Chain A
Amino acid sequence: MKFAVIVFPGSNCDKDMYYAVKNELGEEAEYVFHDETSLDRFDAVLLPGGFSYGDYLRSGAIAQFSPVMEAVKKAAAAGKPVLGVCNGFQVLLEAGLLPGAMRRNKGLKFICKPVTLRTEENATMFTSEYKQGEMITVPVAHGDGNYYCSDEDYRILKENGRIVFTYTDDLNGSKANIAGILNESGNVLGMMPHPERAVDTLLGSADGLPLFRSIVANWRETHAVHR
């Protein structure tokens, strides 16, 4: 399985993402720069964390108009798995691939620490290797992670099992402690915590690895070669 790791000017978790896929998962990964226009050769797309374009104006606001984002939208529409972590999540929100918006953390502080997440939904292509309700430890590192959406959007997310991860307490002011959400068709996941930084016990936790394993397992299932 071949993963694209998108690199914007200011991305800084691209190498972690690449390492997680290549070294821990044992799949193929390739960096794709912001000015490229095709992702046709990839099976999945990863948008890493960082501060794309300095996060000027709003986090993710300028990145949404990078040439590569048209290709990301095309990949999403084609049903390929698209995972946006931290700044990648913010870019997906700004680009309209996921509903809602990010505000400054409620306490104004940049929060950088391991947090406990609850797996709210394991019937997704990103979480099938977790148990329903499984508690996992994954680090967060963000200043603008205070998720907001309208009550109507929240109802739609909730009723359709699109709230995938939640914090166990009020970390940053996010509506309903939301940490990660899915798009309507279930192939685009945005999350503030960093699963790519939790792929080996040496890093303090390997709880992020099943997320990547889920992507591969589900992809194999639909692309299995029957002889």
Chain B
Amino acid sequence: MTYDIQVFVTLKEGVLDPQGNAVQTSLTRLGYDGVQNVRIGKKMDIRMESEPEKVESDVREMCEKLLANPVIEDYEYTIEEALSV
């Protein structure tokens, strides 16, 4: 079966995000005074062949091994059957 997977990788809470801070400063300078916090993460779109019983464990393993660094990053994912293959 073909799946469309989205993986979101974000810095763990409490880990400094220099990029987010820079963007926050810039937004404030643009006049968006209400901006209180900006955190920058990554989104990855993955299409892959797998089986219903193993797709989630594969995705989790991919996140743990490579896509996220568990020391400083958290990850989330969504898994959907691909609509058009």
Residue numbers of A with Cβ under 8 A of B are 57-58, 61-62, 65, 93-94, 99-101, 103-108, 146, 148-150, 173
Chain B min CB distance to A104 (Å): 5
B72 & A148 in contact (Cβ 8 Å cutoff): yes
State which of A103, A105, A106, A107 has its C-beta within 8 Å of the C-beta of B72: A103
Chain A residues with CB under 8 Å of B71's CB are 93, 99-101, 148-150
What is the 8 Å Cβ interface bit string for chain B, positions 42-85, against chain A (1 contact, 0 not)?
00000000000000000000000011010110000000000000
- B interface vs A, CB < 8 Å? 11, 15-16, 18-19, 22, 66-67, 69, 71-72
Enumerate chain A residues within 8 angstroms of B69, measured Cβ to Cβ. 58, 61, 94, 101
Q: How far is the CA of A107 from the CA of B69 in the complex (A)?
A: 22
Query: A62-B66, A93-B71, A106-B18 known; 20 other A-B pairs, CB under 8 Å?
Result: A57-B66, A57-B67, A58-B69, A61-B66, A65-B66, A103-B11, A103-B16, A103-B18, A103-B72, A104-B18, A105-B18, A106-B16, A107-B18, A108-B22, A146-B18, A148-B16, A148-B71, A148-B72, A150-B71, A173-B18
- CB-based nearest B residue for A59: B69
Q: How far is the CB of A190 from chain B (nearest CB, A)?
A: 14
Nearest CB of A to B38, in Å: 13
Which DSSP category, helix, strand, loop or mixed, fits chain B's interface? mixed
**A106 CB contacts on chain B under 8 angstroms:** 16, 18
- Asked if residues B19 and A104 are in contact (CB atoms below 8 Å), the reply is yes
Docked CA distance A148–B18 (Å): 13
Residues of chain B within 8 A of A108, CB atoms compared: 18-19, 22
Q: How far is the CA of A146 from the CA of B72 in the complex (A)?
A: 12
Measured between alpha carbons, how far is A212 from B69 in the docked complex, in Å?
Answer: 31
A99 nearest in chain B by CB position: B71
Tell me, in angstroms, the Cα distance from A158 to B81 when the chains sit together: 49
- What B residues does A99 contact at CB under 8 A? 71
CB–CB B67/A148 < 8 A = no
Which chain A residues lie closer than 8 Å to B11 at the CB level? 103
